[in-house]
């Protein structure tokens, strides 16, 4: 039986950038335990020597999985650019304002 502890739920939530209420921590702990317990079905299979398939085209019907193109700058329609910036919650001129992503931390 898989048991996802309260501490694990809090750690996952932190990694995911999700803020959970106390009640949610409990609920998700129980649900994730149940789901992962079912997923443990995979424990029974031997996959040694098998290659993972990260996208279906790669092993089923296409040899070409890396589609390359020239790294060119293409100018975009000004109006479209303005609309995209407009959609952001905080902006200044042609820039999108961002809060600091991360303080310097040691791991």
CA distances from 80 to 74, 86, 89 (A): 13, 10, 17
Q: Is the dihedral of CA 15, 19, 21, 27 positive or negative?
A: negative
Say if residues 4 and 29 touch (Cβ distance below 8 Å). yes
Residue 31 Cβ, how far from other proteins at the closest point, in Å?
6
Token pair belonging to 78:
């000004």
**Binding marks (x or -) toward other proteins, 52..71, rule CB under 8 A?**
xxxxxx-xxxx----x-x--
Which 3 state secondary structure label does DSSP give 95? strand
Residue 22 Cβ, how far from other proteins at the closest point, in Å?
15
**Binding marks (x or -) toward other proteins, 4..43, rule CB under 8 A?**
x---xx--xx-xxxxxx---x---x--xx-xxx-xxxxx-
User: Which residues contact other proteins by CB under 8 A?
Assistant: 4, 8-9, 12-13, 15-20, 24, 28, 31-32, 34-36, 38-42, 45, 47, 50-57, 59-62, 67, 69, 80, 83-84, 86-89, 96, 98-99
């Amino acid at each position: 039986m898989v048991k996802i502890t309260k501490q694990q739920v809090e750690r996952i939530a932190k990694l995911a950038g999700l803020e959970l209420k106390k009640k949610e921590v409990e609920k998700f702990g129980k649900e994730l335990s149940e789901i992962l317990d079912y997923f443990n079905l995979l424990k029974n299979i031997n996959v040694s020597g098998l290659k993972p398939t990260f996208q279906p085209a790669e092993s089923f019907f296409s040899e070409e999985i890396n589609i390359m193109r020239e790294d060119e700058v293409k100018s975009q329609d000004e109006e479209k650019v303005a609309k995209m910036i407009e959609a952001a919650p905080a902006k200044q001129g042609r820039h999108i304002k961002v809060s600091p992503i991360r303080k310097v931390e040691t791991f």
